[in-house]
Each structure stands twice: as C-alpha cells, then as structure tokens.
C-alpha cells in the first residue's frame, strides 16, 4: 500500500505518475490473475472458438458481399427486361419504317426473353442458394458466439460491486472508499458542512460513491438532470402565383413558386448527465469562491498558456483597482500564473484564500491545470465555507464500476485486456476528480469535525435509495412512469418510515406530457403578399406520479440476480454488481407494508440469496 509521506510537501501529479499508478497497475494485474485462476477457463478452447467465430463472421461478410452483387445484377436485369418490353411495344405501336419496327421488336423481344431466362434460371437460383448459405453461416455463427459468451461466464460471475473499492483501498490510504454511503456520513456532511443533499425535482442521483481523504468525508455523485431550453421549430409552405413579364416587346405570363419558411421558438426539456465530488473540510471555514476551466487544453503550448496568463494579468489589475475603489479586499496574488489559471476572482476572504493556497498548493494546482494527460483542466471548483464541490467533464463519462459491460464478450484474451484497461481508466477518473482537493496541503492536515449523529431512523441513505430506484426503473420503468408521460423520468425519493430494517420510500417520478400544437405565422412572399405558414410544435406539460418502494440491504451471494416475488404481488429487483447488495421491491398502491410482510420478505431473500442465512 502506498502512503503519503508528508502532506506538507505532497504533489498529487508526481504521486500519481510515480508510485501510485505503478502500485495500482500491479494490484489490478494481480487481481485479474487471481480471477483467471479461479475462473479456470480453458483458454485454448476459447481461442479455438474465437477463431471459429471470426471465420464464420468472415464467411457471412463474404456471402453478404456476393449477395449484394447478385441483387444489383437482378435489379439491372429487371431494368433491361422492362427496357426490352418497352422497346418491343414501341416497335409494335408506333408508325415507323418497317426495318426500324422489325429491329425494335426483335431486339426488344430478345432482350426481354434473355433477361427472363437469366433471372429465373440463373440469378434467382443463385440468390436463393446464397440466402441459404447466409442463413446457415449465421446460425453457426450465433451458435459459436453463444458458446464463446457462455464459456466466459465463470469469469464474469466472480465480479462484484466491491472489486474496484477493494482495489483502491488496497493500493493507497490517501483515498479510502466506502462500500456504501451510510446515512451517518450523509448527515455528517449536511450537519457539519451544510451539504444540501435534497436536490430539486430536476436532478436525480443515479449513482453514488463515498469515502474519506485524511478522515474528511466526501461523496461522489452521478446526476441525471433536466432543464428547459429553447428549441426552434420550422414550418414551410410552397406558394405559387402568376407573374407577367415583357420580352421583345411582347407580354408573357409565367408561374412563380417560392418556399416560405417560418419559425417558432418554444421551450423543450433537455436531459443530461453530470457528476460532482462533495467534500467537507473545516479549513478556511469563512472562504467562498468559484472557478471554472481556464481554457488551457491538453495540447496547449507553453506560448499559448503564457499568452493566456498575460491577458489574465490585465484583468487582475482591473479587479484590484476596482476593489480598492469600492473598499473591498480583493488583492491579486504575486503568483499571477496561478491566480489567472485558477481564476477564483470572486473569492470573499483574502486572508483565508492565502492560507489555503500556499505556494505549494498553487504549484500543485497549476500542475493539474496544465497537465497534458489524462484530462488536463476540465474541472470546476466551488468552495462554500466548509463545503467543497468539484465537478469534472470526464467524471460523468467514467464514473461507475459496471463490469456488466463485458457481458457479451466471447474472446477471453480481449476480455482480460479490456477489463484491465477499464480498471485503470476508472482509477484515473476517480483520482483526478479528487486531485484539486489533494492539491491543497491544508486540507490534508485538517482533521474532520466531531459529529454525533444521534438517532438515525433510516438504514439506507437517501442518495443510495435514489440511485437504487434509478436502477429499478431500468427494468420496471412502467411502475414509476406517469400515464401521460412522453419524456424521460427524473426520480426523487422521500423517506417515509422503516419496518424492521426495511426502509420505505415514496418515489416521485417527474416527466412531461407532450401535446402537439400549431402556430400559424404570416410570411411575406416575393410578390408582396402575406401567406399563412403552419409551424408544428409541442407543448411540454409537467406530470408526476408517486409510487412506494421498500429497500433493504443484505449480504448477498455474488451470483444473486434479478428476483421476482410473484407470490406477494411485489416486484423485487437487485443487482449485486451495481447496487451494493441492496434489495428493493415495489409496494402496490393502497397496500400497507407490515412487519409480517417484512418477515416473509427477509426469509424469502435469505433462503435464496444470502451468503450466511
């Protein structure tokens, strides 16, 4: 395990590139090798089936190419057949010279008859034979493919949601990941650091991680959000009118056509993913600021960065002059490179800002911003007193450990290669989400505040519950979806009560009804007249529906999968890979979940899916 030797001289970039990345890569390789040993897959047999799959795939592609060629030839023959028939009809019907008629009829008949013979005696038979060969190859291909996929199931069945967590915790003690976000940690961030975890109805937590950096808590969330944005609808209409013109002393009339277009701007919902790290620390407790990416790209040259800094220095001078005139405390730092690139120009406490960003912190932050790999300056940073929020552009794309993306792999060698690369990319994404926090030595030497949570009613934290119901919705979307909803769902949970260790949550699904509308817009044509152009658009009316679910945690076997409890009329969904061994079920409207129901539910799950019953 790699530890940080001295927080006061810690360089997050050097630490990552040096001992940390090497240690993680070693541990990831060892973990993969352990999986390989336990899975005990016949690699020689797999390579043989992969070769067969590739051979059949090539056969299918070659057959398709040949089939396309014959279908083109068939189309050409049909064209020539029609041309021959037309030629013969022309020769018969039109009043032409006798030799011309004979020529047209003869040539047309020969071509038509020849094409009919070629189509029915050669091409159709060839196409039918090729289709038969294609279907035969395709059947063999899918049989071999399914065999290859099934061959790798022993490897996939060894994977659990804890793999990445254990790998990170084994590699370093600088970052400690939790197996789940406990209610205590969520309430600690709320009570001590003023984290408002109750996002509004436009934002849903679809995945959550938590952990500590030097005893200070952090939560990492992936968010699914929506906002209304303006969209331009376009309608068109073609109009015609008679127009007179003069030529060579005479007057003529002609018809003129013009396509008129009209636009209507209306709000439409836009959906997107985002991610953020929420970190609590009591250092510089009165300081607030925001920063956004500086504009430095991973391919920016030193000259381009210097020009950016010089341009920013002029802005710093103006800000300092303005602050002095207004009696505010803003004062540019001596290190203008950091001041410009970090860009926290709205900071509100110069003393604590300098306390936080020591020369080493400034140096570390500039290194992160100007780093050529893996992501460069793609992070937003907001400090609100004791609360720090870091959001990166890469985080939303590489967030979850989800090995189910390898479910359709059939090539064992490729699976191992891609899985190892996947683990490396996941770690890089996590580390550089946290790097701006790790860059500040004072954060690493400040202990977390004391917190006594008192009595906590729920067993599953609100963010974990919201993440879980988003997974439920992937399988049971109609359970939550309002009847009129035509758009995606934003799911929000509200804790209601607990029955035993099962937490009951209301799930509110927000969406929009999509109502068609038409707006008629008068548009002037080139003839000076106004014409009505209809523009079709949609009105998005908010709708919602409230459902109720129960969620509980069990120590599930690694092979536990989807559960449906039809005997009670409830749908039970869980995934030991994605959902941290949470098990959830839908409670029918108007039905009360009782202790008797909970006893049955617990027994049902334990009998089938729990390791230690």
pLDDT digits (tens, 9 = 90+) for 233-243: 999 999 999 98
Instruction: Give every CB contact of residue 356 below 8 A, 6+ residues apart in sequence.
Output: 283, 284, 287, 440, 442
Q: Within a domain: residue 178?
A: no
Q: Within a domain: residue 101?
A: yes
Q: pLDDT at position 579, please?
A: 59
Mean pLDDT of 49-60: 95
Q: Within a domain: residue 433?
A: no
Q: For residue 427, which phi and psi values (nearest 5 degrees)?
A: -65, -40
Contact status, residue 438 vs residue 10, Cβ threshold 8 Å: yes
Range of the domain at 50: 43-151
Residue 432 has pLDDT above 90, yes or no: yes
Angle at 286 between CA 280 and CA 290, to 5 degrees: 70
Q: Within a domain: residue 509?
A: yes
Residue 453 has pLDDT above 60, yes or no: yes
Strand bridging mode 379-384 / 288-291: antiparallel
Q: pLDDT at position 210, please?
A: 96
Residue 568 has pLDDT above 50, yes or no: no
Q: Within a domain: residue 168?
A: no
Q: What SS3 state is found at 137?
A: helix
- Residue appearing with tokens 């008949």: 109
Q: Which two tokens stand for residue 608?
A: 């089938």
- Residue appearing with tokens 């992160």: 368
Q: Within a domain: residue 536?
A: yes
pLDDT digits (tens, 9 = 90+) for 504-533: 999 999 999 999 999 999 999 999 999 999
Q: Within a domain: residue 190?
A: no
- Considering the entire predicted model, what is its pTM? 0.86
Helix (H) or strand (E) holding 422: helix 412-438
565 pLDDT tier (thresholds 50, 70, 90): very low
Contact status, residue 235 vs residue 516, Cβ threshold 8 Å: no
Q: Which residues share a beta bridge with 531?
A: 523
Domain count within the chain: 2
What's the length of the chain?
Answer: 613
Over the Cα atoms of the chain, what is R_g? 34
Among 114, 135, 151, the domain boundary falls at: 151
Q: Which two tokens stand for residue 200?
A: 């509004």
Q: Which two tokens stand for residue 553?
A: 């945690």
pLDDT digits (tens, 9 = 90+) for 316-357: 888 888 877 777 778 889 999 999 999 999 999 999 999 999
Q: Which residues share a beta bridge with 253?
A: 244
Q: Within a domain: residue 496?
A: yes
Among 113, 136, 151, the domain boundary falls at: 151
Instruction: Give every CB contact of residue 180 below 8 A, 6+ residues apart in sequence.
Output: 210, 461, 464, 553, 580, 582
Mean pLDDT of 563-583: 52
* Residue in 159, 190, 162, 194 with CA at minimum distance from that of residue 178: 162
Of 258 and 245, the one with more pLDDT = 258
Residue 444 has pLDDT above 70, yes or no: yes
Mean pLDDT of 385-408: 93
Among 84, 117, 151, the domain boundary falls at: 151
């Amino acid at each position: 395990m790699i530890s940080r030797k001295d927080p006061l001289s810690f360089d997050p970039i050097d630490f990552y590139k040096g001992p940390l990345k090497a240690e993680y890569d070693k541990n990831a390789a060892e973990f993969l090798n352990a999986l390989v040993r336990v899975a005990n897959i016949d690699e020689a047999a797999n390579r043989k089936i992969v070769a067969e799959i590739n051979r059949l795939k090539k056969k299918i592609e070659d057959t398709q190419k040949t089939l396309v060629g014959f279908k083109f030839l068939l189309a050409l023959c049909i064209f020539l057949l029609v041309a021959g028939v037309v030629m013969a009809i022309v020769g018969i019907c039109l009043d032409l010279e006798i030799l011309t008629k004979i020529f047209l009829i003869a040539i047309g008949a020969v071509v038509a008859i020849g094409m009919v013979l070629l189509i029915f005696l050669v091409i159709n038979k060839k196409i039918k034979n090729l289709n038969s060969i294609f279907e035969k190859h395709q059947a063999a291909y899918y049989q071999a493919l399914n065999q290859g996929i099934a061959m790798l199931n022993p490897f996939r069945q060894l994977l659990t949601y804890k793999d990445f967590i254990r790998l990170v915790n084994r590699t370093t003690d600088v970052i400690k990941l939790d197996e789940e976000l406990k209610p205590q940690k969520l309430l600690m961030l709320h009570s001590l650091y003023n984290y408002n975890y109750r996002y509004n109805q436009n934002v849903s937590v679809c995945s959550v991680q938590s952990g500590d950096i030097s005893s200070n808590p952090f939560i990492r969330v992936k968010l699914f959000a929506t906002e209304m944005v303006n969209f331009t609808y376009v309608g068109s209409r073609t109009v015609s009118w008679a127009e007179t013109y003069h030529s060579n002393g005479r007057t003529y009339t002609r018809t003129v056509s013009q396509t008129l277009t009209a636009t209507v701007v209306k709000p439409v919902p836009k959906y997107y993913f985002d991610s953020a790290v929420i970190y609590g620390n009591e250092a510089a407790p009165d300081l607030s600021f925001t920063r956004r990416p500086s504009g430095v790209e991973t391919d920016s040259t030193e000259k381009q960065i210097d020009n950016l800094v010089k341009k920013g220095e002029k802005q710093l001078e103006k800000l300092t002059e303005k602050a002095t005139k207004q009696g505010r405390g803003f004062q540019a730092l001596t290190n203008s490179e950091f001041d410009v690139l970090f860009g926290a120009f709205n900071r509100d406490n110069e003393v604590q800002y300098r306390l936080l960003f020591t020369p080493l912190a400034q140096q570390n932050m500039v290194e992160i911003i100007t780093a050529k790999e893996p992501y460069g300056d793609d992070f937003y940073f907001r400090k609100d007193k004791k609360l720090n929020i870091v959001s990166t552009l890469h985080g939303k794309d590489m967030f979850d450990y989800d090995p189910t993306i390898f479910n359709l792999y059939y090539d064992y060698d490729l699976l191992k290669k891609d899985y190892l690369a996947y683990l490396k990319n996941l770690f890089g994404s996590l580390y550089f989400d946290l790097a701006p926090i790790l860059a500040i030595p004072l954060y690493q030497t400040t202990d977390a505040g004391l917190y006594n949570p008192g009595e906590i009613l729920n067993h599953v934290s609100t963010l974990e519950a919201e993440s879980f119901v988003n997974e439920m919705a992937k399988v049971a979307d109609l359970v939550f979806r309002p009847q009129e909803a035509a758009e995606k769902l934003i799911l929000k949970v509200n804790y209601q009560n607990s029955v035993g260790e099962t937490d009951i949550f209301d799930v509110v699904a927000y969406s929009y009804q999509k109502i068609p509308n038409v707006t008629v817009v008068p548009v002037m044509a080139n003839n000076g007249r106004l014409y009505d152009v209809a523009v079709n658009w949609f009105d998005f009316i908010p709708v919602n529906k409230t459902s109720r679910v129960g969620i509980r945690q069990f120590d599930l076997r690694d092979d536990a999968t989807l559960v449906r409890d039809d005997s009670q009329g409830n749908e039970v969904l869980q995934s030991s890979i994605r959902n941290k061994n949470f098990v959830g079920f839908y409670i029918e409207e108007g039905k009360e979940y009782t202790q008797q129901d909970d006893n049955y539910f617990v027994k049902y799950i334990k009998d089938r899916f729990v390791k230690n019953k």
